[in-house]
Every structure is written in C-alpha cells, then in structure tokens.
Amino acid sequence: MKKESLNAIKRHRTSKLARLIARSYYLHKRGRDERMYQLICEDFISLGGVYIKFLQGVLLRSEMMRHWQSPERLKIFENLEHEPLNINAILSHELKPEQLAQITNIQPQPFAAGSFGQVYYAQHVNGKPVIIKVLRPMVRELLRHDLRLIGAFARRFYVKLFPNMQLNVNEAIRDFRSATLRETDYIEEAKFANELYQTYKEHEYFIIPETFANLCTSHVIVQEYIDGISAAQLLKLQDQGVDPKQYIQEQLDSDLDFQLYTLGVESIKGIFDLPRVQGDPHPGNVRLMSGSRVGLIDFGIAAKTPSDKAAFFGLISEWSRLYSNHQNIVDLFEQFMRFFVSDLYKALKKLSTLARGRAESANFTKEVGQVAQETFSQAMGGRDLLPLLEDGRIMQIINQMINKNNRFGLVMKLEATEILRAAQTYMTLVDTLGRRAVVLPHVFSAVVEQVSRDHPDLLGQSEDHMSIADALDTVSNWLERVAERDPVLFRQLMNRIRLGKSIDIVKEGADA
C-alpha cells in the first residue's frame, strides 16, 4: 500500500482514539459508565486487529466488559471479518514449487479470521487435512502506531480498572506491546507450536496440532487441522438456552467436565514443567473434540513461566485451598505478597529470622496477614469469600476487599502477567459455562498433587539473599507509605506485630 494511504489510516485511527477518550471521560464524569463501556467496546471492534486483541485480553474479567451487554461480545474470539486475498498467489510468492506441491485442495475462501490472520482449509499430500494461516496485509506496517494509541488509551483507563494497587502502568503496556508484536512473528509461532506438539503428541486427551515447519514462512503457517466445536461456539449456544454439558455429550459423545479438567491440569501444570506455555487460551482457541479430547490452537502468544516458580506454586496452593472451601486470608495474603510484592515479603522474612532469639517469636508476614484478615472481615461483614473467586480474580479480591485505596502501601511487580492472564482466561471460561464448582476444585487439587510429586524443590521457601540493610530500607519505606495512606492501619500494624521494637533489635544485631 502506498505511504499516503498508510498515513491516512494512521490519521483516522488517531482521531478516532482521541474522540473516544474525550467521549468516555464525558460519560464517566456524568455517571454513565455502562454507556462508556459499551462505547469503548464498539469502537475497538470497529477498529479491528490489535484493538480486538486488547478486548480479548480483558473479556469477561474487567468491569468494563462485564457491563458490555451485546451479542457481539463473543464474536471477537473468532469469525471476524476477513479481507479478500488471493491465497494461491500468496503461497506461490511465499513457497518454492517443491514446497507448494505438498499442499493440495486449497480452498479459495477463508473459513476463519482472527485479529492478525486469516485461515484457509487445505490438505497435505500425506492425506492430513491442514489449515493455512496467512498474515493480513498492512498488519506489521500499522501495528506499532496502533500500539502507541492503545498505550495512550490504557494510561487513561488502567487506573480505573485497577484503582488501588501501585501498578507500573508503563511496564504493563510494554508487556502487552511485546506480546502483540511477537504474535505477528510467524517463524517464532511455528517454532513454539512445534515445541508444544513434541511435548504432548503422546497425550491421549490433550491435543496440539502438528506444525509443518518446512512449509512455514514469515507470512504463512501450515498446521494440522483440529476438528470439533470451539468453546466460543458453545458459549453462543449457551446464550440461546442450550445446556453445554448435554450438547457436548450429544454431539461429540464427550464429557465436557473431563475436557475442561484436562485443559486446566495440563495448562497450569505446564507452567512448572515447561519454559513457556500457550498464553491465550480464550474460547476461540479451545477445541472440544470427540472421545473427550480437548485441543488448543493458535500459538502466537507464548507466555514465559515465572522465574520464581516456588512463589507461584505457593499462590496456586492457596488457590486450591480456597476452591476446596478452606478459607485462610492470612495464608492467602502471605502468598499474595510472596509472588506480587516479593521485595517486601523477603524483607519481612529476613527481619523475622534475625529477630528470633533476641525477642519473642517473630513471623512478620503472618502477622501482617492477620491484620489483613481483620481488615477483610470488616469489609466483608461475614460474607463468604468463595463466590468472589468465580472467575479467578484473586488480585482483585485482595485489591478491592482488603487493600482499598492501597491502604497497605503495596508496590506490586507484575511478573508473569501473561501467565496470570492465561490462568484467569481459563477459569473465566469454566465459570461462564457453569462448571466452576465441579471442575476447578479438582483441577487445582490435581495440579498441587502432581507438582508436589514432580517438583518437590518448590515446596520450600524461596531462597533469600536480601541483605539486612536492604530489608530495613524496604520495610521502613513500606511503613512510611502505610502511615501516609492510613494512619489507623499503621498504628494497628505497629501495635500488633511490634515491628518498631523488632527493627530496633535487628539494628542492634546488625551494628554489633
């Protein structure tokens, strides 16, 4: 496309995003948030591409998407509008004649379209049905400009979606930008898809399509065709009154609960077994197949697993306990700090260790958790915690129920955001299908059992290399933030755990 046309598209999108920000602010100031949510979603759908990818990242999870009541909300997962492309001409340009000869029966019209690619049906010479995914024109030329616009939009609204935590918004936007740019790297996607295929090719129920690496280029991916019913299709049928479990049994002779269980166990356990996992298990990428098998497609987002897997396992273990109706806010808050606020967690652990023997027994992370428990009880008024876990929003539980207005002064590090988003997407799917109570407790129980058996090294505490000086500095800065935000909570913390006296003891030991 000519440079003038690209510039015209960029100017149009910039103008549209500017108007969207202004109109959204106007509606929000007048208390018309539901109309604001609807406007944002509709405009992002009309823009297509990466804007739809942005919606996919928050669908069914954020406050914005919960208030978007539209039949279009599931459309963003598959069967988007496609562009008229000459697939044969594209393949002739991308592949050598001997490569092209390996593909037969190429259908001229796409049967599916995503944010960045269109998918065509064909057949490999070995008899296997295959799909050909082709990168849409202009995607790479416009993507960086669009990401800058989304960054400007997100900086205005991210604080509204997560109002209490001190999040590094720029870091979160960089993560989304990096993941999106990787999704247009078809060479890397094909490599990652083949990694997963090699890992799971012997699995009886968890299906990853074979990738024909010798037929993949920077613009084309050729993979084995995975049949079945997509989870997005099933959600649409459910909206029309169809019972999803009964429908899958009748159409596929499959057990939906077992399929969701398999998907959850293998996806979450893979976080501990593999260096990276499929990071976008949204309903359009999940295939429910015959024989109670479940498949995954689309490997554009490879979510790198957390560096501190022991801390992540601690969080998963508490998640398992909560889904088994063993509610313990003290342990939940402690593991939350361990993973999301690791510097403060390590600092409190360091000071606890040094204070023991010089003063009464000290466990500062538990004591802070006790204060969180009291705060939570006041906020909940005796209500049950379990319903709040219906879609895996563990961060929001802490954020909205305990840490309102960031009274605990926590500065979070958003490591492994893609992993958390993937886990939450899976749990949202299970809950939306009405299978949470019968699937998720068993998934988390099985994951904890299998990871404990296969990775016993993750059962202990994370190794602590923090110096005394850094621990003192981290805790002092934290207490200053608490005192500034909530003086009553500050006094409660100081009186309950006697942290000031313990710090003096530690200082004396450090100076001795």
SS3 of 482-497: the string is HHHHCHHHHHHHHHHH
Query: Is 173 within 8 Å of 154 (Cβ atoms)?
Result: yes
Whole-angstrom Cα distance, residue 427 to residue 323?
A: 12
Whether residue 122 contacts residue 131, with contact meaning beta carbons closer than 8 Å, is answered with yes
pLDDT of residue 402: 62
pLDDT digits (tens, 9 = 90+) for 416-446: 677 877 887 888 889 889 998 899 999 999 9
SS (H, E, C) 176-196: HHHHHHHHCCHHHHHHHHHHH
Residues of the chain under the 50 pLDDT cut: 1, 59-61, 164-167, 359, 391-392
pLDDT in tens, 357-387: 554 556 888 888 888 888 777 766 655 655 6
Mean pLDDT of the chain: 82
Q: Distance between CA 305 and CA 302 in Å, rounded?
A: 9
Can you name the CATH fold of 75-137+203-225? Phosphorylase Kinase; domain 1 (3.30.200)
Instruction: Look up tokens 């990652």; give the residue.
Output: 192
> How many Å apart are CA 224 and CA 400, to the nearest integer?
44
Burial label for 294, CB within 10 Å (0-12, 13-18, 19+), is buried
Task: Give CA–CA dist 72/81, Å, rounded.
Answer: 12
Q: Where are the domains of the chain?
A: 3-73+138-181, 75-137+203-225, 309-511
Residue at token pair 């997509």: 230
Q: Would you call 301 exposed, middle or buried from its count of C-beta atoms within 10 A (0-12, 13-18, 19+)?
A: buried
CB 169 within 8 A of CB 404: no
Q: How far is CA 301 from CA 51, 109, 141, 271, 293, in A?
A: 16, 26, 20, 14, 22
Dist. CA 448–CA 317, nearest whole Å:
6
Using CA atoms, how far apart are residues 209 and 294, in angstroms rounded to an integer?
Answer: 11
Residue in the block written with tokens 């755990």? 497
